[in-house]
Amino acid sequence: MAAAATRCRTPSPIRTVAASDGLGGTGGSSAITKSGIGTLSFSGANTYTGATTINAGTLRGAAANTFSATSATTINTGGTLDLGLLAQTINIVSLSGGTLANGALTGAVTSSGGTLNSLGGGMTLTVNSGATNVTGTNTFTGATTVNSGLLSVNGTSTASAVTVNAGGTLGGNGTVGNTTINGGTLAPGNSIGTLTVQGNLVLTAASSYMVEVSPSAADRTNVTGVATFGGATVKASFAAGAYVAKQYTILNAAGGIGTSTFGSIVNTNLPGGFASSLSYDANNAYLNLVLSFGPPPGTGLNNNQRNIADPIVNFFNSNGGIPLAFGGLTPAGLTQISGETATGSQQTTFNAMNQFMGVMTDPFIDGRGDGVSAGSSAGASAYASPDKPRSGAARDAHAMFTKAPVMADPFAQRWSVWAAGYGGSQTTDGNTTLGSNNTTSRIAGTAVGADYRISPNTLAGFALAGGGTNFSVVNGGSGRSDMFQAGAFIRHNAGAAYLSGALAYGWQDITTNRTVTVAGIDQLRAQFNANAFSGRVEGGYRFVSPWMGGVGITPYAAGQFTTFDLPAYAEQAVTGVNTFALAYASKSVTDTRSELGLRSDKSYAMADGIFTLRGRLAWAHDFNPGRNIGATFQTLPGASFVVGGAAQASDSALVTASVETKWLNGWSAAAAFEGEFSDVTTSYAGKGVVRYSW
């Protein structure tokens, strides 16, 4: 063939052109360019020295050694050099986006990207740029060198020793032979997958081992021989997901790893709240994640935050995985998911039972403080006015209530019925060390009752009440309840002394709501019924103080308990998901309180009745001021903790101021203000009572 360039366009189907056709000359400097679709087959012995370029379609060898060994061959994108399952010799092959496949090749292949499939012979492979994909079963024995770009082995190529220099990367899900990472990167898998080294693996200190991590898996290399890590750097890249595991096996070497270790670890997109580390055994290298809630520098987790963080960490360590949302928790996030809102129902219930007890058993509501035979002398001194002349009406009223004791008629005004409204608000400060937040509760109720004098000095009564409560915890949530209360009391007077006792029951239908914004917006709600029981014993002695203008003074002592029985209950997501929903353990909490104080009263005669001012100042001591509850994350079975709410002070001051008017026709009305104050608590309450006696 004369020195000339031959351009072959081969339409489909296949067209075979032999040397005798004038396309396969045995000499000269001809150049061949394959640019059409379809297949062109060589079957003669070609020795031309010009370039062979395959731009499109397939150039196939139909006979062994049909290609010119001295022709520099370039395979561009869209082109294929098919060796025809035969032995071929081409000194220089440049793969530039195309495909080299099917046969035993002797020569040097240089790649800037493309595909090699099912190749044998003594060929060498050098990857200088781009992405080169190796598929099928490859048996070529020449060396494979990656200087730059990516060599992705997704078939087998076990007879060729692989060297990856700086700038180059070896990856894929297939099998390679002995491999040395000499400053380059080993990145097993395509995305996440496993690469097998059939032989030994050596990494140098300047090398990198790249691992992609998903919530459930990670890249891995399996080595049939010995693996030597040489202090290479592990580069871990974490994919987004809803779950993360504690430990991933990133390399296994059947022949062992000796004492070699990787150097540092560099993370990309490591989930918040996690720290990574590497560990080893005789045959494996592991990537470990540690759940670590790191507070800002110079600070630490408070008790509540630590109580929550520890079981989350323990769950992760024990179970080997956890929903990713838990890893991203900050200290503020730990507080938000704590469920402290649930503690608000406790103090609200104690307040509600205290107020109901106060309405039902108030010892100085008119008619309770005096026996039929004994009370009028005290009453006389209470409103006596020795230094000022009285009007006629006042003298009549005075006479009505200071006449001789009714010893012969123990049934006078034996019955009385009453109705009352009561309510109040209490705020309790949180504690920074505990991690509790300010809590506010509000109560409103209406009560009705009746008193019956069963003897001249003994009075019994009962009361029924209905109402509602609501409570809120700063940064936590809120709750409300509908309530029913019932109780009974008995009081006995012995001269100026008295002793009373009472029992009460409370039922509530409680709803709690809290919003968690740690990972989205989750509104969590719980609904349950709870019971409360309360009892009180009080005793005192009343005397009149002439040096204080005839004011009645009653030192008293009292003891009271309230037991709140909480059932086991669980939250559900109203909106969002249940990731942070809690299941609360059943609990019976009892607060016992003692009171020591003084009650005072001063009465004034009116034209048609008696007007009385009363007061109280007392010291109260609570023996169980703590407010806490146990909970478990529903998505982390066994991850249980105790969260503490705003605790009451052990000691507090009680104050009361009230006014009452009793008319001669048997009606009376009273109003009272009550306060409770301590270094953490401010409580204001009030009640109004209307009573009729006959």
DSSP string, 650-670: SEEEEEEEEEEEEETTSEEEE
Pairing of strands 31-34, 52-54: parallel
What pLDDT is stored for residue 519 in this prediction? 85
Say what percent of the chain tops pLDDT 70: 88
Nearest Cα to Cα of residue 9 among 52, 40, 31, 48: 40
Is the pLDDT score of 21 beyond 60?
no
What does the DSSP 8-state code read for residue 637? T
Q: Residue 203: which pLDDT band, with cuts at 50, 70 and 90?
A: very high
Please give the Cα distance from 20 to 5 (Å, whole number): 17
Hey, which residues does 247 pair with through a beta bridge? 288
Is the pLDDT score of 383 beyond 90?
no
Whether domain 340-374+453-693 has CATH 2.30.110.10: the reply is: no
Please give the Cα distance from 571 to 585 (Å, whole number): 12
Is the pLDDT score of 2 beyond 50?
no
Of the listed ranges 519-523, 527-531, 654-658, the one predicted with least confidence: 519-523
Compute φ and ψ for 393, nearest 5 degrees. Answer: -65, -40
Is the pLDDT score of 8 beyond 70?
no
Query: End-to-end alpha-carbon separation of the chain, Å?
Result: 139
Please give the Cα distance from 175 to 169 (Å, whole number): 15
Question: What are the pLDDT digits (tens) for 579-603?
Answer: 999 999 999 999 999 999 999 999 9
Q: How far is CA 598 from CA 623, 653, 685, in A?
A: 21, 12, 19
Is the pLDDT score of 12 beyond 90?
no
Averaged pLDDT for residues 247-261: 96
Q: Is 12 exposed, middle or buried (0-12, 13-18, 19+ CB in 10 A)?
A: exposed
Nearest Cα to Cα of residue 222 among 245, 255, 190: 255
Q: What is the mean pLDDT of the chain?
A: 88
Please give the Cα distance from 67 to 96 (Å, whole number): 19
Question: What are the pLDDT digits (tens) for 427-441?
Answer: 999 999 999 999 999
* In contact, 437 and 475? CB cutoff 8 Å: yes
Please give the Cα distance from 407 to 485 (Å, whole number): 37
User: What tokens appear for 685 in the block?
Assistant: 């309450």
Please give the Cα distance from 250 to 203 (Å, whole number): 14
Please give the Cα distance from 37 to 561 (Å, whole number): 95
What pLDDT is stored for residue 296 in this prediction? 56
What does the DSSP 8-state code read for residue 474? T
**10-14, 380-384, 544-548, 640-644: range with highest mean pLDDT:** 640-644
Averaged pLDDT for residues 146-172: 98
Compute φ and ψ for 682, nearest 5 degrees. Answer: -130, 120
Q: Residue 327: which pLDDT band, with cuts at 50, 70 and 90?
A: confident
Question: What are the pLDDT digits (tens) for 548-574?
Answer: 788 999 999 999 999 999 999 999 999
Nearest Cα to Cα of residue 184 among 197, 201, 199, 200: 201
Hey, which residues does 123 pair with through a beta bridge? none
Q: Residue 475: which pLDDT band, with cuts at 50, 70 and 90?
A: confident
Secondary structure class of 168 (helix, strand, coil)? strand
* Cis upstream peptide for 13 (omega within 30°): yes
Is the pLDDT score of 616 beyond 50?
yes
pTM over 0.85: no
Question: What are the pLDDT digits (tens) for 81-119?
Answer: 999 999 999 999 999 999 999 999 999 999 999 999 999
Secondary structure class of 380 (helix, strand, coil)? helix
Averaged pLDDT for residues 470-486: 95
Averaged pLDDT for residues 178-182: 98
Question: What are the pLDDT digits (tens) for 262-320?
Answer: 999 999 998 877 889 999 999 999 999 888 766 655 568 899 999 998 999 899 888 88
Question: What are the pLDDT digits (tens) for 620-651?
Answer: 999 999 999 999 999 999 999 999 999 999 99
Q: How far is CA 222 from CA 284, 313, 439, in A?
A: 9, 31, 58
What does the DSSP 8-state code read for residue 148? S
Secondary structure class of 613 (helix, strand, coil)? strand
526: number of Cβ within 10 Å: 22
Q: Residue 20: which pLDDT band, with cuts at 50, 70 and 90?
A: very low
Domain residue limits, the chain: 5-227, 340-374+453-693
